[in-house]
Amino acid sequence: MPEDELSRSSHGNPGKSLVNGVKTNPASNSPKSSLSVPLGPPVYVDLAYIPNHCSGKNTDPEFFKRVRASYYVVSGNDAANGEPSRAVLDALLEGKSQWGENLQVTLIPTHDTEVTREWYQQTHEKQQELNIMVLASSSTVVMQDESFPACKIEF
């Protein structure tokens, strides 16, 4: 696009810009609210990895309303960076409560963290009401000189 056309297009729509081809409003500080994503039916999957090590930066209740999984994997293990995020774990409860169907969901934390333990204890009744099971594992895989916790997933 010639420079004069580019200049006209940016002045012709003050307060709006394009990000990845989507009109955004720069006055909005939240990237989640600035992108206009059309609503559609939920997606059903067997297994979903909660994005960004279960950080609150990219995952909210809308994620859990739209991505309906039998198993969600939570891999965060960095308390200094808010991983896993209590807000994301709470978002699972909020999103699942709006499914309208009581499908079994299993949450698979890959690390035993204080955040997940506290969340589990404080929301256990709500988890049962929503048919959410948290998979705890005391299994350990030993490979050569390393050992690490493991979970067995069956479909």
User: Helix 86-96 crosses helix 114-129 at what angle (to 10 degrees)?
Assistant: 10
pLDDT tens by residue, the chain, 155 residues: 555 544 444 444 444 444 434 444 444 444 444 455 567 899 999 999 887 656 566 788 898 999 999 999 888 777 776 668 889 999 999 999 999 888 999 998 888 888 888 999 999 999 999 999 998 766 677 788 887 666 655 55
DSSP H or E segment with residue 118 = helix 114-129
Q: Is the entire prediction scored with pTM above 0.75?
A: no
